[in-house]
């Protein structure tokens, strides 16, 4: 199991390259939840999501020779952009394997950041096999999106930052809601907070029907989702928790929460009007849980990690028009 | 003329109450401008604009007795919310005089922050006379939106912060574009940078046909706009530069720039898609100047103060739908 020292080492490698994202709040949001809500806006991170942390952590830890050969990553978009942007800074070639149905914006951005994009069919092709094949054939280092200690360590730096910032704001006994896919961010943040803010409890938030982590935490073993399609929260749809991340989450996290797509769209509207933030559906899931399911949260202080803001303009305009 | 010491004193009073807003950038924006763009996101300040700084600065410097009596402010919305929110924190009564045609969101928010709102007609009523009358009758301290040294000192703290942050990012020889109404922020930032970043030049950005500051800087004396209606940039429509702010701007600022309403709407779209920020038209003017008039900017590094994000959802959705 990875430990706090690996997260601290990642923080040293990321220093000066990662943005310290702000903690925002609004009395209007507190009123809706009946509790104090604090939002760490990782949507403002480079490439619009926390994934840049893990990408930089992994590439900065590689050897010069590995960096010269290049990297390959599999992602629906946020990990793709995080890895592509970090690779660009290191002048490393990046090949990104993305599902055909990923948001157009994420595919375009990844290409514009200089990466070679290979599209695959989410329903018919096994992405892990495809990644392994390309990695071997072209001698590229595979950077997994979450089940990779260096990536988890990079995402964990978000937890170190959060602990410092929230202690400065005198926030104690909080529950920390994390939008959760495979669990890389959740595991990293939980490990960081175990040491730096032991009075904080990490809880996962997932879309309804894609609550593999919540089910797995409840069952005490890895459970799988029945389907991989049918939610707007593309950034956090994963078949099952990671083999590296799950034992960490099982040890450190509270009960998992779920939210509906409609609740995510309403949270997007509230983040817009009250915090002046642009969030994507998967990046708004934790805020949705705080706003609309606060009765399932025990502490008076809720810290949200708003994980990403890579949303097509049509979907964002729809959230503003149809919800309030 | 106010000096750097008053700004530093304001920074002490604001410490722990104001947010340190982040500096954001994007390779995609740099590509459009052909220069390096750095955006200080004051839209993420409490109440969605830098105006909270001036409101807090003024109220925190008042005597206990003055605070017990209460304050009055005149504002189309951002100064209103900044003063109302600061007053609320000090348990001070706030009366806000707002134009009838101010954005609905700004009026609603100001009321929700506990202020008493008095509406006036922008074309028929003299707002200064109305403010003086209410101040006298009800024994309330008038907090002017820009022509008040304590307010200028508060806004100037944004400049102190910017200097520290941009030096950390190794940005030298920059031009700092400020969305400019009466000049409170511009004057405060210019005074702060004169001492803390003398290699930075402050320049004002105003809407076309409401370029009273640009005209005044050119003429070397205060000039007035012909009209007060007809731009979407409600936050920065002022009849003329302030009597306190103008001599400071004349001494320290470069030539003023202007942008069209359409350019502000396009800048709103680019801030959304590339920075994940919500900006209002007047708060996007400086970014519009950098993106679409970079040939009028001499330095390779452009620092933008994105001053506010209080925009109705209909206008924001229109910016996303109609521009790209």
Looking at B143, B163, B182, which one is the last position of a domain? B143
Does residue A173 share a domain with residue A313?
A: yes
Instruction: Identify whether residues B101 and B171 lie together within a single domain.
Output: no
Q: pLDDT band for position B230 (50/70/90)?
A: confident
Chain B partners within 8 Å of A43 (Cβ):
276
Task: Select from A108, A143, A178 the last residue of a domain.
Answer: A143
Work out the mean pLDDT of chain A and round it to a whole number.
Answer: 96
| Measured distance CA(B262)–CA(B266) in Å, rounded | 6
User: B176 and B44: one domain?
Assistant: yes
Q: Do A44 and B113 touch (CB under 8 A)?
A: no
User: Is A20 close to B21, i.e. CB distance below 8 A?
Assistant: no
Mean pLDDT confidence for A9-34? 97
The pLDDT of residue B102 is above 90: no
Residue A318 sits in the same domain as residue A191 = yes
Work out the percent of chain A whose per-residue pLDDT is above 90: 91
Region B295-311 average pLDDT: 97
A192-207 confidence digits (pLDDT tens): 999 999 999 999 999 9
Instruction: Name the token pair of B287.
Output: 């970014």
Number of domains in chain B: 2
Is the predicted pLDDT of residue B55 greater than 90, yes or no? Answer: yes
Contact A19 B22 (CB under 8 A): yes
pLDDT at A324 (0 to 100): 80
Diameter of chain B measured on Cα atoms? 56
Q: Are residues A153 and A275 in the same domain?
A: yes
Q: Kindly state the tokens that stand for A304.
A: 């949200």
The closest CB to that of B44, out of A22, A273, A314, belongs to A22
CA angle B294/B248/B71 to nearest 5° reads: 110
Q: Which residues of B touch A (CB under 8 A)?
A: 19-22, 24, 27-28, 41, 43-44, 48, 105, 112-113, 269, 272-273, 275-279, 309-310, 313-314, 316-317, 320-321, 324
Q: Does residue B265 share a domain with residue B197?
A: yes
Integer-rounded Cα radius of gyration of chain A: 18
Same domain, B157 and B130: no
Question: Which of B116, B143, B170 corresponds to the end of one domain?
Answer: B143
What does the mean pLDDT of chain B come to?
96
Its pTM stands at 0.96
Of A22, A112, A275, nearest to B22 by CB-CB distance is A22
B48 to A19: CB separation less than 8 angstroms, yes or no: no
CB nearest B22 (choices: A21, A269, A317): A21
Same-domain status, A133 and A156:
no
Question: Smallest Cβ distance to A276: which of B22, B43, B320?
Answer: B43
Give the count of Cβ contacts less than 8 A between chain A and B.
71
> pLDDT digits over B82-97, tens only?
999 999 999 999 999 9
Residue of chain A whose Cα is closest to the Cα of B309: A276
Whether residues A75 and A216 share a domain: the answer is: no
Gap from A309 CA to chain B (nearest CA, Å): 6
Residues of B in contact with A324 (CB under 8 A): 313
Q: Are residues A126 and A180 in the same domain?
A: no
Under 8 Å between Cβ of B41 and B25: no
First-to-final CA distance of chain A? 43
- Tokens 């994007």 appear where? B26
Query: Cα–Cα distance between A61 and B137 in angstroms, integer?
Result: 68
The owner of tokens 């993106």 is: B291
Q: Are B15 and B280 in contact (CB under 8 A)?
A: no
B132 with B206, same domain?
Answer: no
- Cα separation, A320 vs A266, whole angstroms: 8
Average pLDDT over residues A280-287: 98
State whether B37 and B58 are in the same domain: no
Domain residue limits at A100: 51-143
Residues of A within 8 A of B275 (CB-CB) are: 44
Mean pLDDT of the region A163-186: 97
Going by the DSSP 8-state scheme, the letter that residue A46 receives in this structure is G
ipTM for the assembly: 0.96
Q: Are strands A94-99 and A174-179 parallel, antiparallel or unpaired?
A: unpaired
CA separation for the pair B200, A277 (Å, rounded): 29
Could you report the per-residue pLDDT of B239-252, keeping only the tens digit for each? 999 999 999 999 99
Query: Mutual orientation of helices B51-61 and B149-168 as an angle, nearest 10°?
Result: 130
pLDDT (average), residues A254-280: 98
- Residue B54 pLDDT > 80: yes
- Residue A59 maps to which CATH number? 3.40.50.1100
Q: Which of A44-58, A224-238, B135-149, B261-275 has the lowest mean pLDDT?
A: A224-238
Closest residue on chain A to B44 (Cα): A276
Residues of chain B with C-beta less than 8 angstroms from the C-beta of A21: 22
Q: Which residue of A has its CA nearest to B42?
A: A276
Residue B195 burial by CB count (10 A; 0-12/13-18/19+): exposed, middle or buried? middle
Both tokens assigned to A224: 């799988």
pLDDT confidence band for A210 (50 / 70 / 90)? very high
- Taking CA atoms, A72 is separated from A92, A128, A185, A298, B58, in Å, by 10, 11, 20, 41, 55
Give the residue on B whose Cα is nearest the Cα of A309: B276
Any bridge partners for residue A204, and if so which?
A178
């Amino acid at each position: 199991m990875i430990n706090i020292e690996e997260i601290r080492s990642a923080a040293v490698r990321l220093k000066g390259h990662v943005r310290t994202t702000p903690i925002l709040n609004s009395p209007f949001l507190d009123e809706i939840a009946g509790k104090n809500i604090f939002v760490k806006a990782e949507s403002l991170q480079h490439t619009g999501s926390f994934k840049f942390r893990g990408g930089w952590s992994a590439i900065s830890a590689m050897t010069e020779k590995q960096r010269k050969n290049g990297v390959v990553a599999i992602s629906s978009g946020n990990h793709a952009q995080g890895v592509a942007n970090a690779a660009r800074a290191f002048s490393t070639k990046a090949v990104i394997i993305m599902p055909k149905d990923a948001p157009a914006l994420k595919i375009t951005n990844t290409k514009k950041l200089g990466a070679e994009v290979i599209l695959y069919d989410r329903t018919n092709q096994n992405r892990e096999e495809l990644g392994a094949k390309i990695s071997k054939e072209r001698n590229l280092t595979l950077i997994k999106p979450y089940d990779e200690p260096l990536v988890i360590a990079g995402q964990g730096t978000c937890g170190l930052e959060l602990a410092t910032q929230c202690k400065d704001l005198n926030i104690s006994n909080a529950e920390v809601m994390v939008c959760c896919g495979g669990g890389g961010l959740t595991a990293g943040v939980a490990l960081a907070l175990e040491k730096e803010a032991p009075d904080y409890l990490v809880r996962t938030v997932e879309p309804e029907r894609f609550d593999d982590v919540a089910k797995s935490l409840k069952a005490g073993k890895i459970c799988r989702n029945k389907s991989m399609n049918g939610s707007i929260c593309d950034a956090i749809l994963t078949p099952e928790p990671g083999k590296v991340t799950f034992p960490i989450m099982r040890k450190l996290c509270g009960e998992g929460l779920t939210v509906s797509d409609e609740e995510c769209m309403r949270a997007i509207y509230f983040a817009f009007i009250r915090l002046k933030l642009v969030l994507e559906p998967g990046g708004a899931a934790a805020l949705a849980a705080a706003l609309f399911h606060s009765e399932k949260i025990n502490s008076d202080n809720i810290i949200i990690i708003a994980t990403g803001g890579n949303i097509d303009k049509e979907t964002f305009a729809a959230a503003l028009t149809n919800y309030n």
